[in-house]
Amino acid sequence: MPHQLTRNFCIIAHVDHGKTTLSDRLLEYTNTVEQRVMTDQHLDAMDLEKERGITIKSHPVTMRYHAKDGQVYKLNLMDTPGHVDFSYEVSRSLAACEGAVLLIDAAQGVEAQTVANAHLAFGQKLKVIPVINKIDLPSANLDLCLKQLEDILTISAEEAILASGKAGIGIVDILEAVVQRVPSPRWTDYAQTRALVFDSLYDSYRGVISYVRVFSGAVRAGEFMLLMSNSAKSEIKEVGVFMPKMEKTASLGAGDVGYVVSNIKDPSEIKIGDTLTLSAKPAAAMLPGYKEVRPMVFCGLYPVETSDYEKLKAALGRLRLNDAAFVYSSESSVALGFGFRCGFLGLLHMEIIQERIRREHDVDIISTYPSVVYRVVKHGDVTIEVDNPVNLPDPGEILEIREPTIKAAIHIPNDSMGDILALIMEKRGVVDHTDTLDATRVMLTCILPLNEILVDFNDRLKSVTHGYGSMDYELGEYRAADLVKMEILVNADPVDAFASIVHREKAEGKGRELCEKLADIIPPQMFKVAIQAAIGGKIIARDNVKEMRKDVTAKCYGGDISRKRKLLDKQKEGKKKMKQFGRVSIPSDAFIKVLKTN
Amino acid sequence: MSGLGTEQAKASAAAAHSGASAAEVPAPLGLYVHVPFCASTCDFCAFYQTQPTAGSVDRFLGTVRKEAELVNWDRPVHTVFWGGGTPGLLAPRDLGRLAEIVRAHCAGVPEEWTVELAPTTVTAERLAVLREAGVTRVSLGVQSFQPALLEALGRQHTRDRIFRAYERIRAAGFASVNLDLMFALPGQSEEEWAADVREAAALAPDHLSTYCLTFEEDTKLWVKLSQGRVKLDPEHEARLYEATWSQLEAAGFAQYEISNFARPGHICRHNLNTWRMHEWIGLGPSAASQHGGWRGANVSDLDKWWTGVERGVRLTEDRVALTPRLLAEDALIFGLRMNAGVDLAAWRLRAPEAPWATVEDSLATLAAGELLMREGDRVRLTTRGRLIADTIGTEIMAAFEPLLETA
């Protein structure tokens, strides 16, 4: 099939605006998937994705569509991850397309992610097809949606297609629009073979399977491919397409979307956004947009049960196979024992990995306080990156600490403006400008330190807006800030797991809160135990653990000795599971509880 | 907390008073007889007991006699203690029969012979039999003087019965009389407890045992606790302990163990000997022994106990071999419950293989935390330490097995 009859597109939307249902309708209509297997097929996603209403992995599908012009088109539908943490992956999936269907929930209107996704699509110079979805809902407000389309997204309302994935309305219109409005594959006449790697999958038998969009030339089994970012060379074992299951084909040509199996077994060698070419006739230049993905958020992950260390290690190894953006290395903590320092693209990514470790790998884990990557400028013009407060140099060596910021788009109802402004101020944010979305909603564009949104920002946003607020963000620049390392001391010994880098003005409040929580959670001790928060040796907050008052058996005669010994033995075994801080025994779940209540 | 000076002085006096050290031979030998019968079960009681049936008392007495024949009596018995159950539930004639079995193993009359009696069982006739047999000490299970609390505990006696029983015991002329009291009872106020202590002291007994209510598994109270109907309050219990100790000290009763107080010369030697890890022989179901190289308890079941003994076998539970190291460990754990504390020198001699360096470290840590005092080779707990003697026991236990501790 000539590439003129191929269309590559994706569907982009805010969470819950109906992307999955609409995709299913397209697959059904084109008979890509039979209706009765449909449910099983499209639910082939992780529980977590369903729960959070987001897609973590991309699944491309090739459809055949008999268009009204009498031609049969090959439509490649690219799925895109639905969260800002994965914005680079989204951008690579978009880069594999020429068009995007932008879904807007007729009842919800334009939301934070709608705007962010639309901008990503414009950035990739995609043809955007606006679709107002769920028009059959009683609460649908078409006029508003169309107005927002023009005002906020600067797309002509005339282009909008009215649809309902659920009721099957507008499906043909969408398919026709894809054929008519989306351009045929670009850059096909480049002299050498070039294919964009937009995702990969690890298969324990076949090694790493790359998902590719071929722009020019062709790839076929038996040839040697070359990955241009790292010059990795490997024989191509198999190529194929997604129908939606993988189907082997003789070759993949210009404009095609499919997969490539090679000899590469190490997932870290296949980089999202890389350009695949042929080693016999390599391309002179890579496809645009490749970036080395770097984790932005770090935390320590430790097994709750020491004996689960190996199990956790294996779990991290397996997760990494399918998620090159996730990195880890071993570390140890006085408080928590042996564990791993893990890096993530963002908060959601971190939460998802942690949940998967717990659910899919059945390891109970504890996470230390998350940290962003700071840039520390030292004397002598040396800049180092620090992702663990423990590694922060002595204050005397530091000239300046810079922290990453984000540019956030926050959509809120008008009436929560006051609360949100207070929240942004509390989080050291600055509002850049405000846009009115409609009579009841506004969008704030603001700059916030990434560190400040790590823990509870989204929850608080949801809480003050009664669930109506939403936020999307992109990473901004590094900015200098008055940051200090705050340590928590138990009986004058620093506890590494609680060290954090905080803004100087917030240190005291946070220190007091942590001391109070620890003093409350640590069970009564035999000896006096002080919990202190300190900055560079200066105590800024303190509290005391309760002293044990009474633990004595009243009756202890000849007949009681054996029984008493058993009881004491049990108590003693319990104590062995505790962490020793000098004379103080602290159960490891005390740290867990403190970290969890944060 | 009282000043360390006074406490040290008191403890030294008690130490001098209690005399013999662990190294002396022959060590005293005790005899404990468990009489397993009760008319009903009290809510707080975890001791093995059963309701007497026709013929069961006869069979019990016959079996005690047979069990005594199975024991290797390597030396005469110094102290005797009858507990239960309710030993006083036995008829006067049966008490006499039990006394006969006991006397057969004593060189003459034991130095100290205690019998536990419930107020309802105290009759002139029983007391006469016991006095005649050579019993020197009666322990009366008062528990409380408050009618409502007696009722709540499921006790069978009334307040008047306590006074009548006490008068009769005094009239019978026993050398030493103890009253058992309980505190931290559900619903009991601090004032009510102070009143109980006052009333007990006013009777001028020779000895007082005050027991903080313990929630033992297999008791009705445990069931209530686990269902959330009774709440534990360590702070409240600690205050009651402290109040008791100072109230009794002021009334002339010196504390010599967590729960025990005596006028001069009335410390219970039988119990002292167990805390010093000497030896004792236990007869009757559930009775514990520490004798002849092992420690253990008879099976806690009347049927199993007597069937075994009738076949010539003492069925035991929780049996362990006694080693100097284990005895040294227990002498510390249980000895520290006594105000006089423990003489380390004697135990170091007896168990040189014990990990004394680790033990010393642990003791030093406890001393630094003002939970323990050291005077030469004698160690004892401070008031605050005594209130957390179990936790300290676990520290000692851990110190005795340094090889198992991982860094």
A556, closest residue in chain B (CA to CA): B334
- Do the Cβ atoms of A556 and B334 come within 8 Å? yes
Residue A85 and residue A348 in contact, taking contact as beta carbons nearer than 8 Å: yes
Count of CB pairs separated by less than 8 Å, A with B: 114
B180-232 pLDDT per residue, tens: 999 998 888 999 999 999 999 999 999 999 999 887 777 777 777 677 777 78
CATH topology of domain B324-400: Arc Repressor Mutant, subunit A (1.10.10)
A212-266 pLDDT per residue, tens: 999 999 999 999 999 999 999 999 999 999 988 899 999 999 999 999 999 998 8
**Sequential DSSP letters for A348-397:** HHHHHHHHHHHHTS---EEEPPPEE-EEEEETTTEEEEESSGGGPPPGGG
Query: How much is the pLDDT for B12?
Result: 44
Distance in Å, alpha carbon of A580 to nearest chain B alpha carbon: 10
Bridge partners (DSSP) of residue A525 are: A547
Q: What is the average pLDDT across B390-396?
A: 95
| Look-up of token digits 């005596």 | B262
Residues of chain B with CATH 3.80.30.20: 11-274
For residue A382, pLDDT over 70 is answered with: yes
A130-170 pLDDT per residue, tens: 999 999 999 999 999 999 999 888 999 999 999 999 999 99
Residue B256 and residue B4 in contact, taking contact as beta carbons nearer than 8 Å: no
| Look-up of token digits 């599908």 | A61
B327, closest residue in chain A (CA to CA): A561
With cut-offs at 50, 70 and 90, classify the pLDDT of residue A35.
Answer: low
CATH number for the segment(s) A394-481: 3.30.70.240
- Do the Cβ atoms of A526 and B388 come within 8 Å? yes
Residue A279 and residue A193 in contact, taking contact as beta carbons nearer than 8 Å: no
Query: How much is the pLDDT for B223?
Result: 76
At residue B232, what are phi and psi to the nearest 5 degrees?
A: -80, 140
For residue A567 the two structure tokens come to 């009881």
Q: What is the average pLDDT across B52-57?
A: 85
Query: How much is the pLDDT for B134?
Result: 95
A582, closest residue in chain B (CA to CA): B365
- Do the Cβ atoms of A561 and B214 come within 8 Å? no
At residue A475, what are phi and psi to the nearest 5 degrees?
A: -70, 140
Residue type, position A239, single letter = V
CATH topology of domain A3-181: Rossmann fold (3.40.50)
B320, closest residue in chain A (CA to CA): A562
At residue A69, what are phi and psi to the nearest 5 degrees?
A: -80, 5
- Do the Cβ atoms of B234 and A551 come within 8 Å? yes
Distance in Å, alpha carbon of A334 to nearest chain B alpha carbon: 12
CATH number for the segment(s) A485-597: 3.30.70.2570
For residue A45, pLDDT over 60 is answered with: no
Spell out a b/e string for B340-367, using b for 16 or more CB atoms within 10 Å of the CB, else e: bbbbbebbbebbeebbbebbeebbebbe
The predicted complex's ipTM stands at 0.89
Residue B265: count of CB within 10 angstroms of its CB:
9
A7-25 pLDDT per residue, tens: 999 999 887 788 888 988 9
- The CATH superfamily of A297-367 is Elongation Factor G (Translational Gtpase), domain 3 (3.30.70.870)
Query: How much is the pLDDT for B402?
Result: 56
Q: Which residue has the higher pLDDT, A294 or A404?
A: A404
| Interatomic CA distance for residues B6 and B261, integer angstroms | 17
Distance in Å, alpha carbon of A514 to nearest chain B alpha carbon: 25
With cut-offs at 50, 70 and 90, classify the pLDDT of residue B8.
Answer: very low
Q: Which residue has the higher pLDDT, A337 or B262?
A: B262
Minimum-distance CB partner of A553 among B214, B235, B320: B214
Distance in Å, alpha carbon of A497 to nearest chain B alpha carbon: 19
| Interatomic CA distance for residues B316 and A559, integer angstroms | 12
Query: How much is the pLDDT for A41?
Result: 38
Query: How much is the pLDDT for A51?
Result: 53
- Do the Cβ atoms of B391 and A571 come within 8 Å? yes
Chain B residues within an 8 Å CB radius of A527? 369, 371
- pTM for the predicted model, two decimal places: 0.69
B282-306 pLDDT per residue, tens: 999 999 999 999 999 999 999 999 9
CATH number belonging to the domain at B11-274, selected among 3.40.309.10, 3.80.30.20, 3.40.50.2300, 3.40.50.300: 3.80.30.20
B314-362 pLDDT per residue, tens: 999 999 999 999 999 999 999 999 999 999 999 999 999 999 999 999 9
Question: Which residue in A104, A108, A111, A49 sits closest to A80, CA to CA?
Answer: A49
Distances from the Cα of A142 to the Cα of A101, A153, A439, A441, B153, angstroms: 17, 15, 15, 16, 75
- Do the Cβ atoms of A553 and B241 come within 8 Å? no
- Do the Cβ atoms of A568 and B397 come within 8 Å? yes
Residue A276 and residue A194 in contact, taking contact as beta carbons nearer than 8 Å: yes
With cut-offs at 50, 70 and 90, classify the pLDDT of residue A49.
Answer: low
Distance in Å, alpha carbon of B387 to nearest chain A alpha carbon: 5
- Do the Cβ atoms of B405 and A551 come within 8 Å? no
Chain B residues within an 8 Å CB radius of A551? 234, 387-391
B359-378 pLDDT per residue, tens: 999 999 999 999 999 999 99
B230-246 pLDDT per residue, tens: 778 899 999 999 999 99
Q: Which of A330-334, A453-457, B58-62, B164-168 has the lowest mean pLDDT?
A: A453-457
CATH number for the segment(s) A194-278: 2.40.30.10
Chain B residues within an 8 Å CB radius of A530? none
Q: Which of A320-324, B36-40, B172-176, B390-394 has the lowest mean pLDDT?
A: A320-324
| Look-up of token digits 């969260």 | A83
3-state helix, strand, coil split of chain B in percent (to 5) is: 45, 20, 35
Distance in Å, alpha carbon of B362 to nearest chain A alpha carbon: 10
For residue A398, pLDDT over 70 is answered with: yes
Chain B residues within an 8 Å CB radius of A565? 330, 333, 397
3-state helix, strand, coil split of chain A in percent (to 5) is: 30, 35, 35
Residues of chain A with CATH 3.40.50.300: 3-181
Cα within 13 Å of Cα(B44), Cβ side:
22
Residues of chain A with CATH 3.30.70.870: 297-367
A193-210 pLDDT per residue, tens: 999 999 888 888 888 999
Q: What is the average pLDDT across A327-335?
A: 89
With cut-offs at 50, 70 and 90, classify the pLDDT of residue A188.
Answer: very high
Distances from the Cα of B62 to the Cα of A272, B80, B95, B284, B311, angstroms: 89, 19, 13, 11, 13
Q: How many residues does the structure list for chain B? A: 407
With cut-offs at 50, 70 and 90, classify the pLDDT of residue A88.
Answer: confident
To probe the interface with A, which of B366, B391, B395, B401 has the most A CB atoms within 10 Å?
B391
Distance in Å, alpha carbon of B274 to nearest chain A alpha carbon: 6
Residue type, position B327, single letter = L
Minimum-distance CB partner of B371 among A526, A563, A567: A526
Query: How much is the pLDDT for B20?
Result: 43
Chain A residues within an 8 Å CB radius of B389? 551-553
Q: Note if the bond before B26 is cis, omega within 30 degrees.
A: yes
Distance in Å, alpha carbon of B392 to nearest chain A alpha carbon: 8
To probe the interface with B, which of A550, A563, A575, A585 has the most B CB atoms within 10 Å?
A550
Minimum-distance CB partner of A559 among B297, B371, B397: B297
Residues of chain A with CATH 2.40.30.10: 194-278
Q: What is the average pLDDT across B17-41?
A: 73
Query: How much is the pLDDT for B15?
Result: 41
